[in-house]
Amino acid sequence: MAGTIVDTDIAVVGAGGGGAVLALALAQKGIKTIVLEQASGPPQGLRGEILQPNGQQVLDQLGLLKKLPVDSTRPIRKFHFCRVGGERLCTVDYGELPAPYNHAVVTLPNVAHHAILDAIQAEQSVALWYGASFVRLVKEGTQVSGLTATRDGEEVTIRAKVVVGADGAFSKVRQALQIPADVHLYPQGYLIAILDSPLPITEARYYVGKKTILGLFPAAGGKVYCFYMIPTGTYDRTKAQGLPALQEAWTTIDPTLKPLFLQLKDWSQTAFLPTGRVRTPTWVADGAVLIGDAAHAMNPHASQGRMQAMVDAMTLADLLPECLAERNFSAAKLKIYEDARRPQVTMLQRLADEQVLFWNTANPVIGFLRNRVFRTLDRNPRLRYRVLSTTAGLRQSAPFSLIDRVMAAGFLPDPFAGNTAAGMARLHDGR
């Protein structure tokens, strides 16, 4: 295959959450696409997958949502926010959202992603290349006109109208485009575990306290995902301290759940998820575009990182047929996608950073205000709906204005506290 040249319309580097969705969406439009994936096959590792309503919408548009295996998915309506020790502070009910996407969906590891990859393999107009690595861009002047990759140890040149970088926070495509990036690695990440539950846990729980965050999400088959925040670089140290130490730490957070935590019997039930943020001044160039983490990685605390990559993909998939029809692959044309997506992404990045700061604080004053805000949200349907619709991926703008923040902290009464209907009506314009 040395020296092989292949022609396609779109070349996508990376078959993760954004790249795979883009490839499938383009294939369903009959657009010739090649997807390069460095891994040797579909992902198999432990990861938590929570499909927010906007992610469900994407899968529905692709015809996949109803095809996800029932024995691998579990809809969740209520999320309870609690203090360390077990005291409930606030409950958010996805049932308040417009049907049919009025719940979150917890899936077993990689279920949704595998469904997307399987659907790609069934399409005629897309080729998914595993074990293929991006090497360099091919340019005609300043215009990207393709890329060079290695596949099965051989070099292949792909001539493409548009190259899409969907290759993660440390994107090689972004580097090749010489797009500067502010890559920030957070000092905390998440230890993930999946446990068989001896308890009837049917609703999600978030525990917040002094330098402590623990999330519990019921999954199919009587299983529960645990997301536990630990300092980056301490996963091996945590394992060295032994399972009983971790079980005890979790039991301190909620003693009533000790039988669940005792189901952690081997470190193979766990994994570590590092967290980071990427900010870039642009997502586009002549003949090239970035999506997902390559453009805007965000803290998973917002529950929107993967969802935003999926929405990126669908937005770009709507634009690319127009680019092909006009034979216009300029940065100015591709920026239509960026302009549509950047406001929501920027808002969610900021919100995730704020949440981690306040939820994980060791400052007693900030902790007091955090708990006060949660309690206000619990009795204020208007503000609670704004938070819910943001987490669900249905808002373009920040959930709270400055005056909303003052009301949420309990320093001013909210005369519109019960006006949930107004909040629902304004979802589409993001106000």
Q: What is the pLDDT of residues 120-136, one digit of tens each?
A: 999 999 999 999 999 99
Nearest of 243, 258, 259, 194 to residue 223 by alpha carbon: 194
Model pLDDT for residues 217-270, shown as the tens digit of each residue: 999 999 999 999 999 999 999 999 999 999 999 999 999 999 999 999 999 999
Are 339 and 288 found together in one domain?
A: yes
CB 111 within 8 A of CB 49: yes
Residue pair 74/217 in contact by the 8 Å Cβ criterion: no
In a domain, 388, yes or no: yes
Paired tokens of 35: 């997807």
Nearest CA-CA partner of 173 in 83, 69, 38, 50: 38
Quick one: pLDDT at residue 421?
53
Instruction: Output the pLDDT for position 430.
Output: 41
Same domain, 79 and 193: yes
Domain count, the chain: 3
Q: Domain range for residue 28?
A: 4-48+110-184+277-350
pLDDT computed for residue 426 by the predictor: 45
Number of H helices, E strands in the chain: 14, 22
Q: Which SS3 state, helix, strand or coil, does residue 212 take?
A: strand
Residue 66 domain flag: no
pLDDT at 201: 93
pLDDT value of residue 427: 41
Closest by alpha carbon to 50, among 112, 100, 105? 105
Q: Which residues of the chain have pLDDT under 50?
A: 1-2, 422-431
Q: Is 355 within the bounds of a domain?
A: no
Q: Are residues 118 and 37 part of one domain?
A: yes
* C-beta separation of 223 from 176 below 8 A: no
Domain match, 329 and 412 both: no
**Chosen domain end from 210, 244, 273:** 273
The pLDDT of residue 160 is: 98
| Claim to verify: residue 195 and residue 244 sit in the same structural domain | yes
Query: Which three-class secondary structure state does DSSP give residue 115?
Result: helix
Q: Has residue 300 been placed in a domain?
A: yes
233, 253, 273: which is the final residue of a domain? Answer: 273
Domain end (from 273, 298, 331):
273
pLDDT at 2 (0 to 100): 46
In this prediction, residue 342 carries a pLDDT of 97
Handedness of CA 343, 349, 350, 355 (dihedral sign): positive
* pLDDT for position 420: 67
